[in-house]
Amino acid sequence: MKSTTIYKILIGLIIILAPWLISKSIYETPLPAQEIVNESVGFYQTNTCRYSLGEVFKENVVNEKIEILPDLSSKIECFGKVNGVDVVGEKIKVYVGTNPNIDFILQSIFWLLIISFIPRGKIYIKKFPNSVAIFIMIGLLLLHLRGEEKFYVLGFKNFDISISFDNYVLLSFLIVIVLILQIFSDLMATRFYNLINYFPFIFLLAGTYNSLNINFFLLIISFIGLIGLQEGYFSKIFTFSYFFISIIHLTTFKISNVYFDVDKLKGFINSSQNYSSLIFWILIIYLFVNGLMYIFKTSKNNINLAKIKINFLLSGSFIVIVGIISSVYNYINYLAYYYLGLNKLGIKSFNSIEGNTWRGISPSAEAAGEFFALAVLFWIIASHFEYIKITSLEIFLLVINLYGLYRSNNFAATLSLILILIAYFLNVSKISSRSKKITHLISLFLLIIVVNSSNEYSYDFTSKTLLHQGVSASIISSDFPGNEYGLNAAENSNFGQILLVSDSEINLSSSLKYTLKEFTENGNIKFLPDKIALWSVISVPINRSEKWGIFLAKYNPNLNEALFGYGPQQLANYYLGHPTKFNDGLVLPHSSLLDILIFYGLVGVAIILLFIAIFTIKNVGNSIFFYPWIFILINYVKSDSILYLSSFTLALFILNLYDYEPAIDYE
Amino acid sequence: MENKIIGICGNGSISELEQISNDPNFVFINDVNYQTVVLYNEQGSVINVNSWIECANYVNGGWFYGIYDLINAEKYVFFMSAFFLVVYKFITKNNLRTDV
């Protein structure tokens, strides 16, 4: 092992361990740390900010009763120390002090250290220096902190956004971002072209800051996006359509003093509804996408399929292994959350939860399942596509990924993986083109029969289920009249009657009202199913009727918002703008298409669908792009994956493999 | 506030605290069984309190436990980061180390 690598590992270990071991710097500590049991909770509650996590660990090496959680808003001096202990049911929650200023430095330095392990390659030469891009990034960070002040003030009592020379909270943020981007630029000088082969690791190293509503990769890739702009790289179509919709967002935006609890979407969603936060998210998403496209475009010749496929398997395997360890050992659970930049703490039990799913360290079991299935799919197609030799290590890693897929219990991902693999091997087989077409048609027919036979409900029932769920999620007055059996029109799915009653009795969203009208009042076209009924029928077997029904109940746009959306990463208006029975907890739309509809409206959805359709049809012959891309399309339609930075990045990564051609030389 | 008082001063009667706030002539009496607690205020003043009620009264008035609250640690973070940035720029500019 090279001496530089040893130094890096040592620095990494210091970064991981040291912050949680420092104690007794100022305080006198009259008593040593104690074992955490119900009786000693008072002791820790009295002596807050005294005992480091390391000291507590010495007395509680194995203590299954405790759960370690971050105290997001502690003072810098209390970082890494026990800052609160509470008994909640059978468990004792131990809150360890963390602080936004320290998180920003510590987590960034650790992630930069990880990036430094990417092997060096060809030197990346830029025409212009970084200083302008760094300056703009400082402005963007300032805009973010100003726009989402509410997010920070709620947790961080010292948070102050006023610009002055003695506001060290703000000055620390600004100096640290310069430091991060400067180090990142230097790392990229020799690693830029190799970066593309390490994108699968973004699922393991999520990069979300513990106490900030921002993501490390969002910052550094947006920085690359700015450099790309400086170097003259941008997509004219994307830039024009994006800023056309953004101008409409800005001109029609409604400011509100709401606060959206970002929960597991932390780092990639807007928590506020004001101009500063809207402008920040408009700019950062544009720069982020531009940065990704710039990386993919300029590194095209450096794509190493063999490396990418093993990195997919390695990333998936680490996710499974770290997930298992962190589910059984509380200290690793906390450290994995902090240093991998997880959106939320990993699951604390090895046993599956509701719906028999196990998410490990991923924020969502569904997204985790999609990743494992994609890793397997990519590995099989890449190995077959380029006749890359399969090693025993790969088989071992493949088994771990399959285990992860099994534990995530993502039936849709598993089924689509199998079907896409069948389609792939059928297409590359040597049978005639006519036979292939017939086989595809028969398979499709069989699939419809199988799905239909598993559905035990009648068409009449399933065609109304979605709307019934939507009406059930809406707020209904207690005076709402019932029939002779005591069932009111909402319970009885009598949509015609619902449309006749006043808004004071049932508060329907504009989207639900529209779909109810379409369903009940518009005549059917002969031999064609009604579009709302079809949507409802599809939603039942894939278990989405309830979630999409809630979406309809909540989604209450005016005409302009329906056409152009609320703005990028802007869920606050959708979520809090119209009261329903589901205003607590994070009930997401459960479809990336619906997420896009919220952000960019029908016009945005139409543009994106048109682009996807043209792009997919045009590149149907490129297996390494086409099959994983189809997998992503199928799965993302029924999941919120686009709301997670890692899944969003992965989709763009696969999309950009459209013109992949096997390279002669790697690195 | 009640939790803060209990956290710093220990368990005691909060209603007793409410009573003394209406009595300007109240004199605190040392409790020999009470371990002296050191409290600080924002001006950096220090006070030793020798009974639960005295401790509760001061904590209620904004005094706090530990001098950590007096340190502007963000200032140190800022200057340390600035120093690190200058050193880093110096090293990279003078090619003492060309790549990390």
**HSE-up of residue B59 (Cα within 13 Å, Cβ side):** 23
Q: Is residue A595 part of a domain?
A: no
Question: In the listed set A302, A326, A355, which residue is the last one of a domain according to the structure?
Answer: A302
Based on the fold, state whether residues A514 and A368 are members of the same structural domain: no
For residue A566, which of A177, A274, A202 has the smallest C-alpha distance?
A: A274
Q: Is A34 left (phi over 0), alpha (psi -120 to 50) or beta?
A: beta
Q: What is the pLDDT of residue A128?
A: 82
Residue A281 has pLDDT above 70, yes or no: yes
Q: What is the pLDDT of residue A30?
A: 59
Based on the fold, state whether residues A19 and A61 are members of the same structural domain: no
Residues in B closer than 8 angstroms to A171, CB to CB, are 74, 78
Residues in B closer than 8 angstroms to A75, CB to CB, are 68-69, 73
Based on the fold, state whether residues A448 and A472 are members of the same structural domain: no
Q: Is residue A597 part of a domain?
A: no
Among all chains, which residue has been given the structure tokens 């940065």?
A291
- For A460, the enclosing helix (H) or strand (E) is helix A459-473
Based on the fold, state whether residues A15 and A156 are members of the same structural domain: yes
Interface of chain A toward chain B, CB-CB under 8 angstroms: 26-27, 45-46, 48-49, 75-78, 101-102, 105, 116, 120, 158, 168-169, 171-172, 175-176, 178-179, 182-183, 186-187, 189-190
Based on the fold, state whether residues A503 and A579 are members of the same structural domain: yes
Q: Is residue A666 part of a domain?
A: no
Based on the fold, state whether residues A481 and A408 are members of the same structural domain: no
Question: In the listed set A302, A317, A345, which residue is the last one of a domain according to the structure?
Answer: A302
Residue A616 tokens read as 């997919």
Q: Is residue A526 part of a domain?
A: yes
Work out whether the CA dihedral A489, A495, A500, A504 comes out positive or negative. Answer: positive
SS3 category, A431: coil
The b-or-e profile of A528-561 (16+ CB within 10 A means b, else e) is eebebbebbbbbbeeebbbbbbbbbbbbbbeeeb
Q: How far is A608 from chain B (nearest CA, A)?
A: 40
Question: In the listed set A281, A302, A323, which residue is the last one of a domain according to the structure?
Answer: A302
Based on the fold, state whether residues A313 and A403 are members of the same structural domain: yes
Distance CA A506, CA A498 (A): 8
- Average pLDDT over chain B reads 79
Q: Is residue A288 part of a domain?
A: yes
Q: What is the pLDDT of residue A638?
A: 92
Distance CA A400, CA A463 (A): 40
- Average pLDDT over chain A reads 89
Based on the fold, state whether residues A391 and A316 are members of the same structural domain: yes
Q: What is the pLDDT of residue B34?
A: 87
Q: What is the pLDDT of residue A78?
A: 87
> pLDDT digits over A23-61, tens only?
754 445 557 888 999 888 888 887 788 899 999 999 999
Q: Which domain holds residue A277?
A: 3-25+105-193+201-302
Cβ-Cβ contacts under 8 Å between A and B: the total is 66
Based on the fold, state whether residues A383 and A494 are members of the same structural domain: no
Q: Is residue A42 part of a domain?
A: yes
One-letter amino acid at A63 equals N
For residue B5, which of B69, B43, B67, B57 has the smallest C-alpha distance?
A: B57
Cα distance from N-terminal residue to C-terminal residue, chain A: 20
Split into its structural domains, chain A has a count of: 4
Residue A15 has pLDDT above 60, yes or no: yes
Interface of chain B toward chain A, CB-CB under 8 angstroms: 6-8, 10, 66-69, 71-78, 81-82, 84-85, 88-89, 92, 99-100
Distance CA A436, CA A431 (A): 7
Q: Is residue A596 part of a domain?
A: no
Based on the fold, state whether residues A561 and A606 are members of the same structural domain: no
Q: Is residue A663 part of a domain?
A: no
Residues in A closer than 8 angstroms to B4, CB to CB, are none
Q: What is the ipTM of this complex?
A: 0.82
Based on the fold, state whether residues A334 and A442 are members of the same structural domain: yes
Q: What is the pLDDT of residue B66?
A: 64
Based on the fold, state whether residues A170 and A138 are members of the same structural domain: yes
